[in-house]
A and B are shown apart, each in its own frame.
Chain A
Amino acid sequence: MNSIFAKRRARLLAMKAIRDNYIPGDKLITCPKCGQESERKTVAEGLSVCPKCGYHFPIGGYYRLSTILDPGSFRELNEKYPAADPLSFPGYRAKLTAAQRKTGLTEAAVTATGTIGGHKCVVGVLDSRFFMGSMSAAVGEKITLAIEYAAKNKLPLILFSASGGARMQEGILSLMQMAKTSAALARFSDKGLLYISVLTDPTTGGVTASFASLGDIILAEPGALIGFAGPRVIQQTIGETLPEGFQRAEYQEEHGFVDAVVPRSQMRETLSQLLLLHEKGGRA
């Protein structure tokens, strides 16, 4: 019986993942970084990484989960948690509906439990296709519920961030999600549990200034833009051109804010290793 459900779950995630792994273009895909063309099939099979220069294309939440979770282990948490319009902001509901239609998501965060290399964990992913992965009240709530679920069940937590920052249309309530998620992580951490934060392109604004920066271990995908203020704002403020590579994952590693830059092809293995390292011993 169990294996039938596991197969069904694996199929469900695989289907959702296919929809999430779509890069615009016909048979050939042009890399925005190196400008070279590659076969769609080659890119798709290579975890949406440019085979010529290693550029990591943005990927959707379910596809991300399918690349790291053991097949059949995916169980979504709070799948139907609703998007909301707390300030009754003009035109926002229609935009939410359009984003939902386009992506098949209800909001910008997908949270789940599953196993990685046999290690049980809770994983949350921000999906940059939905309002640039910005922090709405629903995103903050789903992330907080995932943290609380992990705390209650004594499971390690992994959050993949990709966010343009605040959700403008939710104003101050977007801001409050920073406090809410950070406070939930304090309680989680007090239980002696492991939180791995993975920063993907782009991780900025309120997400950087809350849960994304609070991992026991912080990983980043190559080339990911990571910062509090966006490069355009900084450039306007200081009136100078920013140095090459500024705020990229490698820059953040060099400045002491990232433990390791991990290519997508090695992410699953690295996470599995980290989970193993925190499973053995450690209870002094």
Chain B
Amino acid sequence: MSTSLTAAERVAIARNPQRPNISDYIDGLFTDFFECRGDRLCGEDAAILGGVALFHGQSVTVIGTRKGKTLEENLKCNFGMPNPEGYRKALRLMRQAEKFRRPVITLIDTSGAYPGLEAEARGQGEAIARNLMEMSRLTVPVIAIITGEGNSGGALALGVANRVLMMENSIYAILSPEGFASILWKDASRSAEACDMMKLTAPDLMRLGVIDDIIPEPEGGAHTAPVQAIRQVDRCLQRHLAALAKENGPALAAARYQKFRKMGAAAPQKEEL
């Protein structure tokens, strides 16, 4: 692993448009993928891709944000920024996974939920909140992999998992470093400074206990040797899935609950009254 990179350098790698995207991961990790479209309420959102596939012979539900590599692709999938329909489709597929007792694997690479007028009118906040609540209850294994950018509630809406894994050069944060700098200092150009303070790299988040494992990338980043990078994801995913397969449904939900329950709690207090 290359440990010498600065946070800002990792942000640049995480955003490299040539980095493997969800389609590359689906091709490289799974077989027999069948895409399921639509939220069954009002629409289909191409910014989230989901479906059923086989992972080493086992049925799994795969859901992730979709970024394109070209402008044309990006226009089709709204640059990977989901609308509420995308989150509601994701929830539908997670419930389906629970019905058929198959693990859920999410792939996260998004600059955030789309901040648009229509997205607000259709309840962006409600859609994300509902996913957080329902994901916490799922009685099948859930593994989230942050492959590029994982920004804000728009990323977390696919991230309430038993295992949260990060690619070595991916980032996971409350919002983009530019947004952070502009809110805090009214100056988006100070984003490099923000990168350091935000603790958004995989090693930082491992130390904070927010994630569970780091998937090593080839020297220079996953885009320099995608096949090798995806092979590393495959190995890591197999290992974590095998460990989770030993647990029963209620135990999986309980363990997931405890994992998030501990986040940011001070020393335990005596209950009052």
The reply to whether chain A is a binding partner of chain B is: yes
Interface on A for B, CB 8 Å cutoff? 75-79, 81-82, 84, 86-87, 89-90, 113, 137-138, 140-141, 144-145, 149, 166, 168-180, 182-187, 189-190, 205-206, 208-214, 227-229, 233-234, 237-238, 240, 242, 246-247, 255-257
A86 CB contacts on chain B under 8 angstroms: 208, 264
Contact (Cβ within 8 A) A180 B173: no
A170 to B125, CA, bound (A): 21
Contacts of B185-201 to chain A: CB distance below 8 A:
197-200
Contact (Cβ within 8 A) B113 A177: no
Contact (Cβ within 8 A) A77 B273: yes
B71 CB-CB contact with A under 8 Å: no
A173 CB contacts on chain B under 8 angstroms: 208, 210, 263-264
Q: Taking the nearest CB of chain B, how far is it from the CB of A140, in angstroms?
A: 6
A86 to chain B: closest residue by CB: B264
A211 to B119, CA, bound (A): 19
Contact (Cβ within 8 A) B153 A257: no
B171 to chain A: closest residue by CB: A172
Contact (Cβ within 8 A) A89 B197: yes
B266 CB-CB contact with A under 8 Å: yes
A210 CB contacts on chain B under 8 angstroms: 128-129, 132, 153
Please tell me the number of chain B residues within 8 Å of chain A, measured between CB atoms: 53
Contact (Cβ within 8 A) B115 A212: no
Output the residue of B114, B134, B256, B265 with the most chain A CB within 10 A.
B265
Contact (Cβ within 8 A) A172 B172: yes
Contact (Cβ within 8 A) B173 A171: yes
* Residue from A172, A178, A214 in contact with B173 in the complex, judged by beta carbons closer than 8 Å: A172
Q: Taking the nearest CB of chain B, how far is it from the CB of A69, in angstroms?
A: 15
Q: Taking the nearest CB of chain B, how far is it from the CB of A121, in angstroms?
A: 14
User: Do A229 and B120 form a contact, CB below 8 Å, given A178-B156, A187-B257?
Assistant: yes
B184 CB-CB contact with A under 8 Å: yes
User: Do A172 and B199 form a contact, CB below 8 Å, given A183-B257, A213-B129?
Assistant: yes
A182 to chain B: closest residue by CB: B132
B139 CB-CB contact with A under 8 Å: no
Contact (Cβ within 8 A) A209 B153: yes
Contact (Cβ within 8 A) A172 B208: yes
A169 to B199, CA, bound (A): 11
Contact (Cβ within 8 A) B273 A206: no
User: Do A212 and B172 form a contact, CB below 8 Å, given A75-B273, A176-B210?
Assistant: no
Contact (Cβ within 8 A) A209 B129: yes
User: Do A141 and B265 form a contact, CB below 8 Å, given A179-B160, A183-B257?
Assistant: yes
Contacts of B103-158 to chain A: CB distance below 8 A:
113-117, 119-126, 128-130, 132-134, 136-137, 152-153, 156-157
* Residue from A81, A113, A186, A247 in contact with B136 in the complex, judged by beta carbons closer than 8 Å: A186
B156 CB contacts on chain A under 8 angstroms: 175-176, 178-179
Contact (Cβ within 8 A) A179 B266: no
Contact (Cβ within 8 A) B126 A213: yes
A140 to chain B: closest residue by CB: B264
Q: Taking the nearest CB of chain B, how far is it from the CB of A212, in angstroms?
A: 7
A42 to B256, CA, bound (A): 51
B116 CB contacts on chain A under 8 angstroms: 229, 234, 237-238
* Residue from A178, A214, A240, A247 in contact with B120 in the complex, judged by beta carbons closer than 8 Å: A247
Contact (Cβ within 8 A) B174 A175: yes
User: Do A209 and B172 form a contact, CB below 8 Å, given A186-B133, A228-B120?
Assistant: no
Output the residue of B132, B152, B269 with the most chain A CB within 10 A.
B132
User: Do A137 and B265 form a contact, CB below 8 Å, given A185-B133, A229-B115?
Assistant: yes
User: Do A84 and B266 form a contact, CB below 8 Å, given A172-B173, A179-B132, A238-B117?
Assistant: yes
Contact (Cβ within 8 A) A209 B260: no
B121 to chain A: closest residue by CB: A255
Contact (Cβ within 8 A) B198 A171: yes
Contact (Cβ within 8 A) A242 B117: yes
B72 CB-CB contact with A under 8 Å: no
A242 CB contacts on chain B under 8 angstroms: 117
Contact (Cβ within 8 A) B174 A171: yes
Contacts of B240-273 to chain A: CB distance below 8 A:
256-257, 260-261, 263-266, 269, 271-273
User: Do A77 and B272 form a contact, CB below 8 Å, given A172-B172, A173-B208, A183-B160?
Assistant: yes
A231 to chain B: closest residue by CB: B120
B254 to chain A: closest residue by CB: A187
Contact (Cβ within 8 A) B180 A168: yes
* Residue from B126, B132, B174 in contact with A168 in the complex, judged by beta carbons closer than 8 Å: B174
Contact (Cβ within 8 A) B123 A255: yes
A138 to B121, CA, bound (A): 31
User: Do A82 and B266 form a contact, CB below 8 Å, given A75-B273, A209-B129?
Assistant: yes
* Residue from A174, A214, A246 in contact with B129 in the complex, judged by beta carbons closer than 8 Å: A214
A257 CB contacts on chain B under 8 angstroms: 123, 126
Contact (Cβ within 8 A) B133 A183: yes
Q: Taking the nearest CB of chain B, how far is it from the CB of A132, in angstroms?
A: 11
B172 to chain A: closest residue by CB: A172
A214 CB contacts on chain B under 8 angstroms: 129-130, 133
Q: Taking the nearest CB of chain B, how far is it from the CB of A74, in angstroms?
A: 12
B120 CB contacts on chain A under 8 angstroms: 227-229, 234, 246-247
